[in-house]
């Protein structure tokens, strides 16, 4: 099985990617959080930093683009090609209201004719590998049939399916039945994404879909960076490795972010997920969330490491 690292805006930029890659199981591909091209400019400095080859040494990275304008996609992809990229990914899954109302991300799935024209233009203009990361539709899984007919007209590098619809956001369960049907009917290679948080989830998935060769993991890694290694048969990392990972992240964020508050914000955000890795973590995570200074944050993390263990049943659990 090939394992891909899902793009996660605000979290899995190059700093996170490098820290992960230097300590945990190397992934077959890492997808960048989306680049949203503006009409006047190709990449802003955050986007440029994220894809610079010197910031992504030793990893196979696929930049993701979020747009519904073929000319913006083409211009951005050509820019990425100048940096050495041969593969790009189109975001057809982002469920956020502001994105969807502009008919981008999952919103583009509701504009089938425009989407087909977009893909025709992009494939005509680019000599690059193009993959799609898609949901099933806006409201119903049935929307995917006609979408797949469109996707089948193009030679995609791969079709990565997160089998939810836009209105699900991250609620409900991924629709495995719809995924199975899509996999059967797709003329392009298919990869699966969605709610693989533990080894048990993975085994359940791979016994239901033995022919699926690629799984993309997202929140499962944020909650347990040892998950890909576990799936590859490696031992679960101990507290030492997790600690080293957090120290490296904090140090690298300190180097690139302008002030302590930004570093603190980044580190605190991670604990929404990482709390799931430790036994009895609630009260520590509460303290972490309340920390106003990095030193308070560090103290809360130290006491968690001192007093708690990695939980037997570690794995992402949505809160609330
Ligand atoms: C905080 C966050 C940011 C995300 N940003 C992106 C993104 O930039 N591009 C994208 O295609 N998907 C994005 N996603 C969706 C994930 O890539 C993935 O499809 C989703 O989390 C389901 O996979 P999982 O259940 O393994 O987490 C994001 C998800 C989260 C939770």
Gyration radius of the chain's alpha carbons: 20
Q: Which of 215, 231, 247 is the last residue of a domain?
A: 231
| Cβ-contact 277, 314 below 8 angstroms | yes
Q: How confident is the model at residue 39 (pLDDT cuts 50, 70, 90)?
A: confident
User: Distances from the Cα of 43 to the Cαs of 27, 83, 84, in angstroms?
Assistant: 25, 12, 15
pLDDT value of position 41: 79
195 CB near ligand 1 (under 6 Å): yes
**Binding-site entries for FMN:** 64, 133, 162, 218-219
Does position 42 have pLDDT exceeding 90, yes or no?
no
Q: Which atom of ligand 1 is nearest to the CA of 216?
A: 26
| Co-location of 15 and 129 in the same domain | yes
Q: What is the CATH number of the domain that holds 67?
A: 3.20.20.70
Q: Residue 39 domain-assigned? A: yes
21 lines ligand 1 (CB under 6 A): no
**Ligand 1: which of 3, 4, 5, 8 to mutate, judged by most atoms within 8 Å of the beta carbon?**
8
Say what the pLDDT of residue 116 is.
98
- Distance, in Å, from the CA atom of 125 to the CA atom of 71, rounded to the nearest integer, reads 9
Mean pLDDT, the chain, rounded, equals 97
Is 312 a domain residue?
Answer: no
pLDDT tens digits for range 273-318: 999 999 999 999 999 999 999 999 999 999 999 999 999 888 998 8
User: Nearest-CA neighbor of 124 among 132, 116, 133?
Assistant: 116
The residues annotated as belonging to the active site are: 94
Q: What is the mean pLDDT of residues 102-114?
A: 98
Least confident of 21-25, 40-44, 145-149, 272-276: 40-44
Kindly report, residue by residue over 208-260, the tens digit of the pLDDT: 999 999 999 999 999 999 999 999 999 999 999 999 999 999 999 999 998 99
Distance of CA 3 from the midpoint of ligand 1 (Å): 15
Based on the fold, state whether residues 13 and 77 are members of the same structural domain.
Answer: yes
Q: How many CB atoms lie within 10 A of CB 246?
A: 19
30 in ligand 1 pocket by Cβ < 6 Å? no
Q: Same domain for 17 and 57? A: yes
Q: What atom of ligand 1 comes closest to residue 34's alpha carbon?
A: 8
Q: Are residues 101 and 171 in the same domain?
A: yes
Q: Which of 31-45, 90-104, 122-136, 216-230 has the lowest mean pLDDT?
A: 31-45
Distances (CA, A) of 170 to 129, 174, 183, 317: 28, 9, 21, 12
Q: Does residue 188 sit in helix, strand or coil?
A: coil
| Number of other CB atoms surrounding residue 315 within 10 Å | 18
94 in a structural domain: yes
What is the domain range of residue 37?
2-231
% of the chain beyond a pLDDT of 90: 96
160 & 283 share domain = no
Structurally, the chain folds into a number of domains equal to: 2
Whether residue 320 has pLDDT greater than 70: no
Confidence of residue 133 (pLDDT cuts 50, 70, 90): very high
Q: Residue 29: what pLDDT?
A: 98
Lowest mean pLDDT among 61-65, 128-132, 210-214, 311-315: 311-315
Binding site, annotated residues: 64, 133, 162, 218-219
Is the domain of 150 the same as that of 86?
yes
Confidence of residue 40 (pLDDT cuts 50, 70, 90): confident
- Could you tell me the two tokens for 293? 């200074």
Is there a single domain that holds both residue 167 and residue 134? yes
ipTM score of complex: 0.99
- Mark which of 231, 259, 293 sits at the end of a domain: 231
Q: How confident is the model at residue 117 (pLDDT cuts 50, 70, 90)?
A: very high
Of 6, 160, 164, 217, best ligand 1 pocket probe by most atoms within 8 Å of the beta carbon: 6
271 shares a domain with 137? no
Per the CB < 8 A criterion, the answer to whether 137 and 144 are in contact is yes
Residue 218 Cβ inside 6 Å of ligand 1? The answer reads yes
Between the CA of 18 and the centroid of ligand 1 the distance, in Å, is: 18
245 and 205 in a single domain? The answer is no
């Amino acid at each position: 099985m090939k394992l891909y690292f899902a793009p996660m805006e605000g979290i899995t930029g190059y700093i996170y990617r490098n820290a992960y890659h230097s300590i945990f199981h190397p992934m077959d591909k890492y997808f960048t959080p989306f680049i949203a091209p503006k009409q006047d400019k190709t990449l802003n400095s955050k986007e440029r930093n994220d894809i610079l080859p010197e910031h992504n040494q030793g990893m196979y990275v696929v930049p993701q683009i979020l747009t519904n304008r073929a000319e913006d996609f083409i211009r951005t992809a050509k820019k990425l090609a100048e940096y050495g990229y041969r593969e790009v990914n189109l975001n057809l899954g982002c469920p956020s209201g502001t994105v969807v109302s502009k008919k981008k991300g999952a919103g583009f799935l509701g504009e089938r004719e425009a989407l087909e024209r977009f893909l025709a233009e992009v494939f005509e203009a680019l000599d690059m590998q193009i993959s799609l990361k898609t949901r099933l539709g806006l409201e119903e899984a049935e929307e995917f049939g006609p979408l797949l007919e469109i996707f089948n007209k193009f030679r995609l590098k791969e079709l990565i399916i997160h089998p939810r619809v836009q209105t699900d956001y991250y609620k409900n369960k991924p629709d495995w039945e719809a995924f199975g049907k899509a996999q059967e009917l797709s003329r392009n290679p298919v990869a699966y994404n969605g709610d693989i948080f533990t080894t048990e989830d993975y085994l359940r998935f791979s016994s239901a879909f033995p022919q699926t060769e690629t799984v993309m993991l997202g929140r499962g890694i944020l909650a347990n960076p040892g998950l890909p290694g576990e799936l590859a048969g490696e031992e679960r990392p101990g507290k030492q490795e997790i600690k080293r990972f957090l120290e490296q992240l904090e140090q690298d964020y300190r180097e690139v972010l302008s002030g302590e508050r930004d570093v603190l914000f980044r580190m605190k955000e991670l604990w929404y997920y990482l709390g799931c890795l430790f036994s009895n973590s609630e009260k520590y995570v509460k303290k972490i969330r309340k920390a106003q200074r990095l030193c308070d944050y560090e103290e809360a993390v130290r006491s968690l490491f001192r007093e708690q263990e990695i939980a037997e049943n570690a794995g992402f659990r949505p809160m609330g």
